[in-house]
Amino acid sequence: MANSDREEYTEEMQRREYRRKRRVRNQIIAYITAAVLLAALVFGAGIGVHEAAKILNDKQHAQELQNQLEELEKEEPVVVEAPEETTEPETEEEEEVIDPLGEIVEGCIAEMPIADKVAGLFMITPEALTGTDVAVKAGNTTKEKISQYAVGGLVYFEQNMKSEEQFKEMLSTTKSYSKYALFMGVDEEGGSVSRLAKKGLADNVGSMADIGAGGDAAKAKEAGASVAAYLSEYGFNVNFAPVADVVLEGNTVLGDRAFGSNASEVATMVSANVQGLNEGGVSACLKHFPGIGSTLEDTHDGMAVSEKTLDDFGTTDFLTFQAGIDAGAEFVMVSHLSVPNITGDNTPSSLSAKMVTEVLRGQLGFEGIVITDAMNMSAITEYYTSDEAAVRAILAGADMILMPEDFEAAYNGVLEAVSNGTITEERINESLRRIYRVKCKDRVAE
């Protein structure tokens, strides 16, 4: 072989060797690259599969929820009814309200026989109790009769008063004879109706008309306090005052006994006078409900009528009575005035459930002792017997009967009404509770 051929051959072989090596190198690089790519694919595939599985699970869960919601929508809605209200028994005992006065009162009433209970609703004169013409001393007859008729109280007039010593002894002895606490009452208004002052046993505080005209409520309170001071000294615990009527100009029935004709001004005076009496330890008694200041007739002489309506009284006399009640008056005296535009007939207010129970207690809210005006007045005696009037007054809601024309007849009439069921014993007890809450109030420690 020629040299030139040999060189060409050698060069050709070198080129082939170079191409082979380059091919092997490229293959190695390709293998490495492929391996790297494969590893990357494997790793990525693992993550993808996980994520894909997660997504698939989420989709499956969502689909399940959707299927459940669709099933719930197909079902009838469930209506949940509110539980019925039931009155559950109290799990905790309510705190008991302690009423010491109430307990004392109940104790007093529980020990009383029915005859004494009925007698306890009457307030009479010492003459009506003893059967004498004029009583100026409490002796054996008083002792005997007050044991037989355990009246709730006694009322005194000028004829019973001879001297300071005599009168104080009479009242003190009378109270000592009674087995129950007594109301000792008198009309001591000031001015023309002042039983003790007119007999010279006390200084007259002056008429309420003059005090009202002065416009100073402090004077009205001072008058009440002065009266209470000397009444207490004698042994009285009830004063049938003040007059709470609003009078028309020129009214002669009441004269100087009322504070005036302006309801608002009278109300202020009445309230102050009640406070003066109460602070002096004497129970005030407002009179003459529903108000007799607009009539020209006198119930002492016969029927007295007022054409006023409830609205009319509401803007006049009721304002003054309400003021006295709010000031603490423990008694209200109901007159024998007929008010047909309220009751529908000429029944005296003292015998009318409409006036006593519905109006005085219901509308004005009075919870104290309702006492009738004197039942020996012609407005009563001309139309009713003593027993009939007493029974009707209690049925109307009165607690105490003042001075019936015939005490024994009135007493026996009420006793018979209880016996035959016309009046229940509980009705009697209701009045006695009001009476004894006043009589026993000093027995409760402050």
pLDDT digits (tens, 9 = 90+) for 20-78: 666 656 555 555 555 545 554 544 444 444 444 444 444 454 455 455 445 544 444 44
Domain boundary among 26, 52, 70: 70
* Dist CA 245 CA 114 (whole Å): 36
Are 25 and 159 in the same domain?
no
For position 1, what pLDDT does the model report? 52
Q: Which value, in Å, is the radius of gyration of the alpha carbons in the chain?
A: 51
If phi > 0 it is left, if psi is from -120 to 50 it is alpha, else beta; for residue 21 that is: alpha
Count of beta carbons in the 10 Å neighbourhood of residue 408: 13
Which neighbouring-strand residues pair with 369?
A: 331
| CATH code at position 285 | 3.20.20.300
For position 50, what pLDDT does the model report? 47
Residues 346-357, mean pLDDT to the nearest whole number: 98
Are 58 and 112 in the same domain?
no
Is position 50 annotated as part of the catalytic site?
no
Range of the domain at 46: 1-70
Are 164 and 64 in the same domain?
no
Domain boundary among 51, 70, 89: 70
Picking from 93, 259, 102, 116, the residue whose alpha carbon sits closest to that of residue 182 is: 116
In a domain, 327, yes or no: yes
Count of beta carbons in the 10 Å neighbourhood of residue 407: 24
This prediction has a pTM of 0.78
For position 444, what pLDDT does the model report? 77
For position 69, what pLDDT does the model report? 44
Between the alpha carbon of residue 112 and those of residues 15, 116, 332, 425, the distances in Å are 151, 6, 25, 12
For position 330, what pLDDT does the model report? 98
Convert the pLDDT of each residue in 268-303 to its tens digit: 999 999 999 999 999 999 999 999 999 888 888 889
Are 314 and 439 in the same domain?
yes
Are 56 and 191 in the same domain?
no
Is position 301 annotated as part of the catalytic site?
no
Are 175 and 296 in the same domain?
yes
Convert the pLDDT of each residue in 375-402 to its tens digit: 999 999 999 999 999 999 999 999 999 9
For position 278, what pLDDT does the model report? 97
In a domain, 184, yes or no: yes
Q: For residue 80, give the 3-state DSSP assignment.
A: coil
Percent of the chain with pLDDT over 90: 72
Are 160 and 271 in the same domain?
yes
Residues 102-109, mean pLDDT to the nearest whole number: 92
Percent of the chain with pLDDT over 70: 78
If phi > 0 it is left, if psi is from -120 to 50 it is alpha, else beta; for residue 373 that is: beta
Mean pLDDT value across the chain: 87
Convert the pLDDT of each residue in 126-162 to its tens digit: 999 999 999 999 999 999 999 999 999 999 999 999 9
* Dist CA 49 CA 55 (whole Å): 10
98 — pLDDT class (breaks 50, 70, 90): confident
Are 8 and 152 in the same domain?
no
* 3-state SS, one letter per residue, for 189-221: EECCEEHHHHCCCCCCCCCHHHHHHHCCHHHHH
Counting the structural domains of the chain, the total is 2
Among 373, 387, 399, 406, the active-site one is 373
* 433 CB burial (10 A radius; 0-12, 13-18, 19+): middle
Among 210, 216, 298, 300, the active-site one is 300
Are 324 and 278 in the same domain?
yes
Are 278 and 192 in the same domain?
yes
> In this predicted model, which residue has the larger pLDDT, 358 or 21?
358
Q: Residue 81 above 80 pLDDT?
A: no
For position 234, what pLDDT does the model report? 98
For position 49, what pLDDT does the model report? 40
Between the alpha carbon of residue 103 and those of residues 112, 352, 367, 368, 400, the distances in Å are 15, 31, 18, 18, 22
The amino acid present at 427, given as its one-letter code, is R
Are 45 and 141 in the same domain?
no
Are 115 and 2 in the same domain?
no
